[in-house]
A and B are shown apart, each in its own frame.
Chain A
């Protein structure tokens, strides 16, 4: 029994912080945020050199073969730096889904390329209804001889502009329940696929609408068994929740640090504003939110690997709590900066916006609390 990170994980965190401070300092993040495409192949390459994109990929497929807690360590550092790299979308979400649902040839075809950062993938799940249960998967795949034909649209597909491969959740059976949900692999350059940006407040993470206009899918493109993919998506919801929670933990810590540093140098009434109790208490209240939540994230990440029966409850606890904590801390951090915190020129708003985007994505806190209630047998 040891509740904490291993020496290797601590080293991973330190290395990640060091690498990101060199490769993705705030001026780089800002440059990418201003870029119409919203990503940097050069930065992606640097991150690929670290091997992070293959973190969850087994060694037999060219990855590092590590687990969700290791991924959470990297995600926390990415959340701190806001480096706009497709780690969450490709290295965590798409990779987890391929690992869970893919056939051996599918894994062989894609995992080594994803692990090396030579290719990226993303999951296309949400639709207009934004429902996170099986009914939310309404995009129909019609059968036409040995092909499936897709028509319809997916929303909030993260990093779709830089993804080579889309993992699309579609409905192949009749009805609206778990049976009949199928995952298909669609290369983004397939004729009939179009990707339209959904510009949002968070310019460090780009979302897209992906439309399918009678796109033909061969049997080899069906991920795992047709009509039986819902359980993989349900598990992916837990992975996504933990991942976003881990990022949020890192982001909240960084926002608070910036605010505290600023309060030590900004002077009013002839002394640093951080010497006033009103300001100290704002910061201390944030510490009281941030410190205990780290343990919750670690537990939730660990549960994904080691405690399957508590994985869903733990993931939703972490997502609900970290969503609230990050948004609150980012809000206070802006206020601790005063007027400068409200400007475009200062970096603070990037964290403030990421917090809200993360809070609302993959289930807002109230939805996750209800899921915790159900998982607790209430």
Chain B
């Protein structure tokens, strides 16, 4: 165990802190919680500009190897950057789908041409990515997906439909699972394609979430032609590629940075509100609940440090990603629920309402965090993975 920082690392922390202080965008009035939506191209432009600024300063994908545009940074720098982002309440880069999910997959499994073509614009947010996995008939049973891709010369021809596709309404590209061999067992006939969202034959139809925001979409493919060179990994081995990406997704969804930010927002709220004539922080029941949440947040913070360390020192991560996804998404939702309790009758007020607190983000985030418990593999699916792959409990029922 060594939680100390070298002089160089302390210097790095000072640099990051000073940079953030100088460059952090003012929290916009139209930041309404939840996800970005198509209705607001200005917000998207602002978010892209923020990522670009972070990238230019060397603060995006710092764990990636230098040859691919990262910093080759070790866990210490990653942890420092995360901590400082939390402290500064800095927004996450908009292109996290690319940075945390596709990027590492391409670095591991992509062709040299694919890396050269796709990695740089992921870093700069010049190209945003969405994930084409779920289908109307294939949610938790993802491997049953039916979107078909048939080889036609140097192209695949894609037909079918994806659903719950976040950010598809403004993404430039999609990494997508398609069925290339309908005769093979379901896991063995799937391939992993990179699809230009501007291709003819693609229709994106926004789906309005319970938050009222059009945060995700249906995507329809009608004879969409995709060059063969956009196949990642081998034909019919897309399930392996997807699994590599899925564990990245679980880590991303479970990012403890976001959890720590939510917790610090909750504490700010608790400090200035009172309930039934007693300030929240003087109410013993509220103190118990806040302390319990704080303890769970800190335990995930140290756990993520342990996992980063394990990664660096080649200790197996096992089913760590599933545990993170399960624990952190539920913790995020519990934090938001505690905020609503503190707010009392004010809890449900919308952004446009008089007397609203924190621009109405709490009820939106409360709903959004429930969605995150379902998305990226439901809590129940994570539990199956933990039990079967982690504990070796028998498959079946």
List the interface of chain A (C-beta within 8 A of B): 1-6, 9, 69, 260, 263-264, 271-272, 274-277, 279-281, 283-285, 287-288, 291-296, 298-299, 302, 306-307, 317, 320-321, 366, 369-370, 372-373, 376, 378
- Complex interface: chain B residues within 8 A of A306 (CB): 3-4
How far apart are A60's CB and chain B's nearest CB, in angstroms? 24
Q: Interface code B265-284, partner A: CB below 8 Å = 1, 0 otherwise?
A: 00100100000000001001
B19 CB-CB contact with A under 8 Å: no
Tell whether, in the assembled complex, residue B396 and residue A276 are in contact, meaning their CB atoms are under 8 Å apart.
yes
- Complex interface: chain B residues within 8 A of A321 (CB): 295-296, 299
Q: Which residue of B lies closest to A276 (CB)?
A: B397
Q: Which residue of B lies closest to A1 (CB)?
A: B76
- With A4-B1, A288-B386 given, is the CB distance from A272 to B306 under 8 Å? no
29 contacts between A and B (CB under 8 A): A1-B3, A1-B9, A3-B302, A3-B305, A4-B313, A5-B1, A271-B394, A274-B394, A275-B395, A275-B396, A280-B387, A280-B388, A280-B393, A283-B393, A284-B391, A285-B383, A288-B326, A292-B300, A298-B1, A298-B302, A302-B1, A306-B3, A317-B294, A317-B295, A321-B295, A369-B287, A369-B291, A372-B295, A373-B288
Cα separation A4 to B309 with both chains bound (whole Å): 7
Q: Which residue of B lies closest to A296 (CB)?
A: B299
How far apart are A133's CB and chain B's nearest CB, in angstroms? 17
- Complex interface: chain B residues within 8 A of A376 (CB): 291, 294
**Which residue of B76, B383, B395 is within 8 Å of A284 (Cβ)?**
B383
Q: Which residue of B lies closest to A256 (CB)?
A: B391
Cα separation A263 to B323 with both chains bound (whole Å): 21
| Closest CB pairs A-B (n = 4) | A275-B396, A280-B387, A284-B383, A369-B291
Q: Which residue of B lies closest to A306 (CB)?
A: B3
Most chain B CB inside 10 Å of its own CB: which residue of A9, A302, A373 = A373
Interface size class on chain B is: 35 or more
- Complex interface: chain A residues within 8 A of B4 (CB): 1, 306
Q: Apart from A263-B393, A372-B291, A376-B291, what 6 extra A-B contacts exist at CB < 8 Å?
A: A1-B79, A3-B302, A287-B390, A288-B386, A291-B303, A376-B294
Within 8 A of A (CB), among B345-397: 380, 382-384, 386-388, 390-397
Cα separation A271 to B394 with both chains bound (whole Å): 9
How far apart are A4's CB and chain B's nearest CB, in angstroms? 5
Tell whether, in the assembled complex, residue B299 and residue A2 are in contact, meaning their CB atoms are under 8 Å apart.
no
B327 CB-CB contact with A under 8 Å: yes
- Complex interface: chain A residues within 8 A of B298 (CB): 296, 299, 317
Tell whether, in the assembled complex, residue B313 and residue A373 are in contact, meaning their CB atoms are under 8 Å apart.
no
- Complex interface: chain A residues within 8 A of B295 (CB): 296, 317, 320-321, 369, 372
B290 CB-CB contact with A under 8 Å: yes
B308 CB-CB contact with A under 8 Å: yes
